[in-house]
Amino acid sequence: MSTATSAPAPPESTEPRGRTAFVRRFVQGDLASLRVLIGLAVIWAIFQSQNDRFLTAINLTNLMLQITAVGLISVGVVYVLLLGEIDLSVGAVSGLAAACMAVLNTKHGWNPYLAIAAGVLVGTAIGAVQGSLSTGFGIPSFVVTLAGLLIWQGALLYVLGDTGTININDSKITGLANTFYSGTTAWLIAAVVIGAYAASALWGWRERVQAGLADSDLIGPVVRIVVVAAAIIGAVAVLDSDRGIPLAVLILLGFVAGMQYVATRTRFGRHVFAVGGNAEAARRAGISLHRIRIAVFAISGTMAAIGGIMQASRLLAVNQGSGGNDLLLLAIAGPVIAGTSLFGGRGTVWSALLGALVIGSISNGMDLLSLESSVKFMVTGGVLLLAVIVDAIARRQRQAVGRA
């Protein structure tokens, strides 16, 4: 006589769900963008309570112009951080590239577009050389780029010569940071951006569904599209009530979106994450570590040059202090604050924009409150230290989960 045996019950899932899963992902850094947006809202609320001019259209437009150079430089810094490396020369490179552009255009009469291209190529060449030295000789990037910081600062002084300051008068160059689109043009730009984001989001969702990596329910993508569209419409309404959408902001958004696509949708981007996550495993998988590192430092130099040129366009001049002061600190602090890990292999190019917004908002707010430079440096340094601590805690949490 046979006896029926019941199949053992499947083991209960140990995956945390609901609120517990959300909190775990928030602590581990998986929701870094949300964390930054919450922090940004708190920062804006604090400064608005202290000075009611902070959230006015004219100040927010100025804020967007102020963060453009830092944001562009940070785009290149993100790629370096994804490798677990550092580039301490980006500030000096930005100043040197801008000086080369200004000298070629003002003193030698070069076409403005050729002068801009030459300045960008200077940054690309410097980045490639530094990457080659670090990779070829096995020298830590910290040492190579620290030496580069001093070398390129000296080169900046040499290029400027005895004049010390070069004023930029060419409208093609100054227009990069002083052109605005308002009215119908502004809203057409908003419609194009919203449409492009919606198409990208839906296409990405479709690919993930076909690969079995996402739920077929459209609610998630649609909610994200609605939220982004509302944010864009609100931003355009505010900017249009002042001077309009700055061309500089469109340039920044274009580079952030483009480099994010490269990082997440191309083989090169996947190789960058692989090398940053585990260099030895990447090497065994056939990835050329040398080429990836050289290319990443070349990108860093290129974006530093572009940021320096945008800064010169906004200030209408290049001088001996270009690329100096706290530009290096801000360019590195921004992505780290916005969730790009200092340990490599984890981050997003959008952190360049979010981080620049946080850093720029703090600086702008303290300027409105007329705080001394000493206070500004201490506050900015404290925010960076807090971000690094949060990053370290999140990394420990991920490692603990991985061992469990």
Give pLDDT, residue 403.
65
Q: Using 50, 70 and 90 to split pLDDT, how confident is the model at 398?
A: low
Q: Which among 60, 53, 125 is positioned nearest to 89, based on CA atoms?
A: 125
Three-class SS of residue 167?
strand
The structure tokens listed for 222 are: 């649609």
The model's pTM is 0.88
CA 231, 236, 242, 243 torsion-angle sign: positive
pLDDT surpasses 50 at 15? no
More confident: 185 or 11: 185
What's the average model confidence in pLDDT over 261-265? 93
Write down the residue that tokens 């490269």 correspond to. Answer: 262
Q: How far apart are CA 191 and CA 178, in angstroms?
A: 23
| pLDDT tens profile 379-396 | 878 877 887 787 778 777
Range scoring the smallest mean pLDDT among 101-110, 271-280, 333-342: 333-342
Q: Using 50, 70 and 90 to split pLDDT, how confident is the model at 337?
A: confident
Exposure string over 233-244, b if 16+ CB within 10 A, otherwise e: eebbebbbebbb
| pLDDT tens profile 267-286 | 999 999 999 999 999 999 99
| pLDDT tens profile 130-147 | 999 999 999 999 999 999
Element spanning 393, H or E = helix 373-403
Domains for the chain: give ranges and CATH numbers: 54-178+266-387 (1.10.3470)
Give pLDDT, residue 348.
92
pLDDT surpasses 70 at 17? no
Cβ pair 17, 338 in contact under 8 A: no
Q: Chain-wide mean pLDDT for the chain?
A: 87
